[in-house]
Amino acid sequence: MNKIPAFIVCAVLVFWTPAVFASDTADITFNELLITANSVDSGGEFLDEEPDFLKEEAEDEKKEDIISVADPLYYWNWSVFHFNDKLYFWLLKPVSEAYRAVVPRQVRSGLHNFFYNIEMPVRFVNCILQGKIEAAGDEFARFVVNSTEGILGFDDPAKNYPELKQGEEDFGQTLASYRIGNGIYIIWPLLGPSTLRDTIGMAGDRFLKPVSYIEPLELSMGVTGLGTINATSFKIGDYETFKKAALEPYEGLRNAYIQNRQKKIRE
C-alpha cells in the first residue's frame, strides 16, 4: 500500500489550510439564520423554524472546528474514485473472498498480526516525533513481547497486557501535530483517499516499513498485496455498507476520510 511515485510527491509543495474560509461562510449563514428566524412554537416540531438543535449545531460547529478540505483536483479525484470502486468490486473483493474461503481463519489472523507487528518502526518513530514517549514505550514493549512470546509477531500475547496501548500513529499525523494543514484532497489509485499532507506522510512512512526494503521489487509488491488481501478478508462488506448508505458516495467518502483523520490526529 505504499508505492507512491516519488515525482508526484515532489511536484506539489504548497500547503494551505482551507478550513478557515470554509467554516467562515457557514458561520455567516448560521448567524443570519439565527437573526432572521422567528420561532413558531405551535404546530409540531416540523413547523418550528428554529429548533433547538439548529442553535446547538451552530455552537458545536464553532467549538469543534469542523474541518473541510479543498478539492481542486475534483475531476482527477472523481475518476480515480470510480476506478478504485471498480477495482474493489471486480478484483480485490472476489480475490479476498476466495482467499477467505481457502485460508483458515487462524492463518489469516496470524498474518494480520505479523504485518501489524513488523510495521512497529512506523508507529514507534512517529510516537517519538510527536513527543509521545509513553506511547512509544508501549509500542516498543508490544513489539518485544509479540516478536518473542508471540513467535515473530504471528500471535498477539501483548493484548493480555492492556496497559500497553495500541496506537495508530503515522507521519501524516506527526506533520499535523506540527500544525501543518491538510493541503488538498487527493485520491490515489489503489491507495485510496488522502490529502497532500498525508501523501507526504505515506511517503515518509515508507522508509520505516521493512516491507519496502524487500528485494526484488516484485516480491516487495507481492508481500504488500498479500497484506492488503489479508486485511480486506476481515472487512468484506464494510465498503458495501458505506456505498449502500451514501447518497453521494464521493462526498461521503471525502468527509469520512477527513473526519477519521481528524480523530486520529486528536488522539
Partner 1 sequence: MKKTSIETSVGIFVMIGLVCVAYLTIKLGKMELIGDNNYPVYARFQSVSGLKKGSHVEMAGVRIGTIDSISLDKESKALVKMKIEKGLLLTDDVIASVKTAGMIGDKYIRISPGGSDVILKPGDMITETESAVDIEELISKYVFGGVLKYKKSYEQEEKSVKKTAVFLLCVFFASVSFSSDRGPMDSLKGPVDEGIRLLSDPKYKDPSLKSVQREKIWEIVRKAFDFTELSGRALAANWKTLNPPQRKEFSEVFSEVLGNSYLDKIQGGYRDEKVEYIGQEMVSDTKAVVKTKIIREKGEIPVDYSMKLKDNNWKVYDVQVEGVSLVQNYRSQFNEILSKDSPDELIKRLHKKLKEQKKGETK
How many residues sit in the footprint of partner 1 (CB under 8 A)?
A: 49
CB nearer to partner 1: give 11 or 45: 45
Classify residue 56 by burial, with Cβ atoms within 10 Å: 0-12, 13-18, 19+.
exposed
Does position 53 interact with partner 1 (CB under 8 A)? The reply is: yes
> Do the Cβ atoms of 129 and 208 come closer than 8 Å?
no
User: Which residue intervals of the chain are DSSP H helices?
Assistant: 6-11, 19-36, 52-63, 74-87, 93-102, 105-118, 120-129, 133-148, 171-177, 196-206, 217-232, 238-245, 249-266
Does position 252 interact with partner 1 (CB under 8 A)? The reply is: yes
Q: Please state, as a whole number, how many other Cβ atoms lie within 10 Å of the Cβ of residue 173.
A: 22
Which positions from 202 through 241 interact with partner 1, judged by CB under 8 A?
Answer: 234, 237, 241
Does position 47 interact with partner 1 (CB under 8 A)? The reply is: yes
CB nearer to partner 1: give 52 or 189: 52
**Integer Cα distance of 3 and 41 in angstroms:** 58
CB nearer to partner 1: give 29 or 79: 29
Does position 251 interact with partner 1 (CB under 8 A)? The reply is: yes
Which positions from 144 through 173 interact with partner 1, judged by CB under 8 A?
Answer: 144-145, 148, 159-163
Does position 17 interact with partner 1 (CB under 8 A)? The reply is: no
SS3 192: strand
Does position 254 interact with partner 1 (CB under 8 A)? The reply is: yes
Say how many Å lie between the first and final Cα of the chain, rounded: 24
Q: For partner 1, which residue of 30, 85, 177, 223 counts as binding (CB under 8 A)? A: 30
Q: 188 has which bridge partners?
A: 192
Shortest Å, Cβ 176 to partner 1:
14
**Integer Cα distance of 27 and 23 in angstroms:** 6
Q: Which residues bind partner 1 (CB under 8 A)?
A: 26, 29-30, 33, 37, 43-47, 49, 51, 53-54, 57, 66, 68, 105, 109, 112, 140-141, 144-145, 148, 159-163, 234, 237, 241, 244-248, 251-252, 254-256, 259-260, 262-264, 266
